[in-house]
Structure 1
Amino acid sequence: MEENKESYKQIFKSTSIVGGAQIINIIIGIIRNKIIAILLGPAGVGVAGIFQTIVELVRNGTGLGINFSGVKNVAENNTDSQRVARTILVLRRWEFGTGLVGMLVVIVLCNFFSNYSFGNDGYTYSIAFMSVTLLISAVSAGQLAILQGLRRIKEMAKATLLGSILGTLISLPIFWWFGIAGIVPSMILTALGSLTVSWYYARKVITEKVQLSLSETFSEGLGMAKLGFFIVVNGFVATISLYVIRVLIRTHLGMDSVGYFQAVWIISTMYINILLNSMLADYFPRLSAIKDNKEASNKLINQQLEMTLLVGTPMLMGMIAFATLAINILYTNSFHSAVSVLKWQMMASFFTFISYTVGVLYLSLNKGWYAIIIETLRQIIYISFVFFGWEYFGFNVLGIGFLIANFVCLVFGVYSAKQLNSFKFSIINVKYILILGSFVGLTLFCSLYLEGFIQYILNGVLLILASAFCLYNLNKMLDIKNWFKARYK
């Protein structure tokens, strides 16, 4: 029992460190997105969203997932100083090389991206200039991967937080002066700011001096690339799906509606990433270290899932209940068309919590094909539902389709984990999924089908009950009450 408490405390500690930084990032993001929405309007937010999608699309296609697989390699070799030094050097060189390839790909295809994304070649040169962000971001991601692999979670969290602050301070004056024309300069300077901060913390990592030829760098990096291949394909499938969705929205409703969708996507991913990034920072290295022990790995997955559900569910319910307020605070009232889509997407995120926690298993076991199949299935369902359901559901199809796709893939993902690692949910997690899932579902129902004061009263009651349930169970796991007594006696 004591061993279990220590494991829960380790999970909570890493979650709170990275999550705390993520929360501050959100506050910064609220300020940044609000000002950008005012300065650029829905069309400008849509243009920025398409630019960002192009960057992510090429990064996922050329980055080979080196930053993610590098975390695993650094973590596995952490006890061997010579080996970890070689791994870090290989990681840095491959990140630079893949970033350079990504930059060249964007330059070559800039005219294609402009015509397909915007229907004309007016953004060709902007996209070409934007390409340099791929090189800068790749190097920065490599620095953060080193910190994460060495489980220097505090330094990683600080680097991420300060990079966000610096990026905001750089970008807002540019948008003020140049409007939409400032999107690309802002992206470049923001990437440079993040690189500067990540380099500052990563340079404190002292390793042994090692000599590696280019051929040795290439051969040793292939191991990272093989695992990274699955991550690349996975991310590429997700990103190209978003790209297609944005083009479909522009075709049906115009660039303003792309901006509405972009707003929803930023809000949903911003808040969900508090938990997912916090979880992944320590969870993935720990799971990789015990991957050959099925009983231990399945136990850790269930412990992580308990923490994720208890911490994350009240957050989802709050976002569903107060989606209109969130849109007003984060953007402007001209984005109100996105409110119902945001509610559906936050409900879908409950299933994401579960599937993401279980899905890390595939990568820790080097069984990335499972992740690729599940992600491909998710995006095929999503795009198909949007394409064929637009006539019946209108703009809301974007949220409803996302919910259906996530649920189907959750079922498939849990089944795959059972076949692969004999995984099954613990009894306590079955209880949490049923109880907390019901809370989230009822909140969605009240938000969509009730109006006025009664909606907020019922949702408020549901949120209080769910929060009390989660806090009570977190206290049993972590002994929060006695911790506070000892600390503030």
Structure 2
Amino acid sequence: MKLIKTSLLSFIATMTKLVSGLVINKVVAVYAGPSGLALIGQFQSLIQILMSFSQGGVNQGVIKYTAEKKEDAEQLTLYTSASLRITLFSSVLVSVFCIIYASMLSEAVFGEDSYITLIRVFGTMVLLYAVNQWYLCTLNGRGLIGDFIKVQIIQNIFMLFFCTAMVINFETLGALYALAIGQSMVLVYLIVLRGADFFNSLKSLFITPSNTLYIKFFKFSLMTLTTAAVVPLVQIQIRNIIGDQLGDDSVGYWQGVWYISTMYLLVLTTVLSTYLLPKLSSIQEVEKLDTELIRVMKLVIPVSVLFALFIFVTKGILVNLLFDDSFQGMLPLFKWQLIGDVVKIASWVFSYLMLAKSMTKVYVYSEVFFGVLLLTLSHILLDSHGLEGITLAYLINSVFYFVFAYSNYIRWRKRN
């Protein structure tokens, strides 16, 4: 799949997610306010962790090995079987965990046990989500980007109407339940679109893979689950720090800025995950890999800079358009956040090399270290700079991470 074609298809899917997400966010802002947005942000972080664990952390491995083995049907079936077994086992564990420990999770995330039913409902749906994501990764690895994008577009449109209806009728609680069950329901469309191929892929479950394949996927699990645990946990702690010192409305301001960053960076991160990971996985020659990284950098850096400049110049309009007048406290936070975004996306180009070449130890250590560093910097700079210090901490952390990711790439290149 060519970079430009993948970028265009990814852009279409991302724009539908962007538009639907922005509409949903506006509805939530109007009906729930800053404190409601903060509550939803906490739940999003929790389900981000649980969804990643429900997939066994193998999705990046599924993309890599499917891309590598797609010309060898026998090997591909064995790798498919191993990844599907890991996904099913992990999703059942997460489901049982959510049902049994719903009270503990509710207390830890929301500070009260009023959301036990919400967490248990999510637990009953997580298997469908995990299988859906697993199959989408096989499509990505096989280069079937057209179908991959179609499913994403339908999912985004469905979530737009479903979440909007739930928020209008049930306000904050409606948004929470929409998040809990909405993303699992798109599996129905996936089966309609590619039913024969989907069920044929499930047949690999009856083929017994060797233990060495589980070990290969375990490396990806360790990397993916480290990120899945560290990033949301750090965000939860940052929200708690802000809430304790400045109040829930300030949490909502930070959540709003973080949300805008996440949405516009989707255009670029989708290109990286859809194109760059399978491409780097399949390239063995150092010179070709250098060429590919340069091509990607020439695309993502200018685009990220243009996006950041546009958002900074129009931030007042965007806040009024996407939120409402009660979110004016967001405005001072954009400067450091947007610069940090540009640095972060540049570092991700090099960090994907760690995934593509299975640099497990380096990846895990770096995720933990920079997660702790971000939390530490946030503590320090919140005291000295107020809420703006949180975005300054993000920028500083992003700069250090870029230096690390680029240095790691140089070391890998010298060894190969």
- What residue ranges of structure 1 are gaps of 5+ in the alignment? 1-8, 424-489
The answer on 1:345 being equivalent to 2:337 is yes
- Aligned partners of 1:297 and 1:421: how far apart in 2? 9
Aligned to 1:83: 75
Query: What residue in structure 1 maps to residue 411 of structure 2?
Result: 419
Query: Does structure 1 residue 32 correspond to structure 2 residue 24?
Result: yes
Matched residue, 2:38: 46
Instruction: Tell me the equivalent position of 1:196.
Output: 188
Q: Which residue of structure 2 aligns with residue 159 of structure 1?
A: 151
Is the Cα–Cα contact under 8 Å of residues 54 and 92 in structure 2 kept in the other structure?
no
Q: Which residue pairs with 1:358 in the alignment? A: 350
Question: Could you say what the CA RMSD is over the residues aligned between the two structures, in angstroms?
Answer: 2.4
User: What does the per-residue CA deviation read over 1:425-459, in whole Å, with 9 as the maximum and x for residues that have no partner?
Assistant: xxxxxxxxxxxxxxxxxxxxxxxxxxxxxxxxxxx
CA positional deviation for 1:395: 0.7
Alpha-carbon distance between aligned partners in 2 of 1:133 and 1:183, rounded to the nearest angstrom: 16
- In 2, Cα distance between equivalents of 1:233 and 1:209: 27
Query: How far, CA to CA, are the matches of 2:230 and 2:248 in structure 1?
Result: 23
Distance (Å, rounded) in 1 between the aligned partners of 2:164 and 2:377: 37
Inter-CA distance 105–217: structure 2 relative to 1 (3 Å threshold): farther
Compared with structure 1, are the counterparts of its residues 213 and 349 closer, same or farther at alpha carbon in structure 2 (3 Å cutoff)?
A: same
Deviations 1:366-411 (A, max 9, x none): 1132222322232222111111222211111111000000001111
1:210–1:334 CA distance, 2 compared to 1 (3 A): closer
C-alpha distance 387-33 of structure 1, shift in aligned 2 (>3 A): same
- Report the identity percentage: 20
Alignment of 1:129-208 (within 5 A): 129-203=121-195, 205=197
| One-letter identity of the residue aligned with 2:237 | V
Matches within 5 A, 1:328-477: 328-422=320-414
**Counterpart of 1:121?**
113
Tell me which of 296, 299, 311 is aligned to 1:319.
311
Identify the residue that residue 279 of structure 1 maps to in structure 2.
272
Q: CA deviation at 1:262?
A: 2.0
Distance 1:137 1:332 in 2: 33
What letter matches 2:216 in structure 1?
G
Asked whether the equivalents of residues 355 and 410 of structure 1 are also in contact (C-alpha less than 8 Å), the reply is: yes
* Shift of residue 159, structure 1, vs aligned partner: 0.8
Q: Provide the residue aligned with 1:268 in structure 2.
A: 261
Distance 1:174 1:78, change over 3 A: same
Are the structure 2 counterparts of residues 98 and 251 from structure 1 closer, same or farther at C-alpha, using a change threshold of 3 Å? same
Deviates more, 1:124-133 or 1:350-359: 124-133
Residue 291 (structure 2) aligns with: 299
Pick closer, same or farther for the CA change 1:34–1:158 going to 2, 3 Å: same
Equivalent AA in structure 2 for residue 250 of structure 1: G
**Residues 256-313 of structure 1 deviation map (CA, whole Å, 9 limit, x = unaligned):** 32222222221111110111112320221111001x3112112211111111113322
Q: Tell me if the contact between 2:62 and 2:83 (Cα under 8 Å) persists in the aligned partners.
A: yes
| Contact 1:268–1:342 under 8 Å retained in 2 | no
Q: CA deviation at 1:333?
A: 1.8
Check conservation: 1:327, 1:336, Cα contact below 8 A: yes
How much does 1:219 deviate? 6.2
* Deviation (angstroms), 1:348: 0.4
Aligned partner letter, 1:274: V
C-alpha deviation, 1:62, in angstroms: 5.2
TM-score by length of 2: 0.92
Q: Does 1:242 align with 2:235?
A: yes
Kindly provide the CA deviation profile for residues 67-96 of structure 1, in whole angstroms up to 9, marking residues without a partner as x: 121111111111012322333343333322
Equivalent residues, number: 415
Closer, same or farther in 2 for the Cα pair 1:218/1:187, shift >3 Å? farther
Distance in 2, Cα, partners of 1:226 & 1:420: 18
Following the alignment from structure 1 to structure 2, what is the Cα–Cα distance between the partners of residues 403 and 287?
Answer: 27
CA distance in 1, matches of 2:223, 2:374: 21
| 1:435 aligned partner | none
Decide which moves more: 27-36 or 116-125. 116-125
Q: Which runs of 5+ in 2 are unaligned?
A: none
Residues in 2 aligned to 1:155 and 1:314: alpha-carbon distance in whole angstroms: 29
> What are the within-5 Å matches in structure 2 for residues 16-31 of structure 1?
16-31=8-23
Code of the aligned partner of 1:39: Y
CA contact (8 A) 1:33 1:331 kept: yes
Does the 8 Å CA contact 2:340/2:394 hold for their aligned counterparts? yes
Letter in 2 for 1:321: V
Amino acid aligned to 1:29: G
Aligned counterparts of 1:89 and 1:215: Cα–Cα separation in 2: 7
- Tell me the amino acid that sits aligned with residue 403 of structure 1: L
User: What CA deviation, in whole Å up to 9, does each residue of 1:145-192 have, x standing for no partner?
Assistant: 011011111211111111010111112111111122223431244123
> Which letter maps to 1:94?
I
The residue identity in structure 1 corresponding to 2:166 is: I
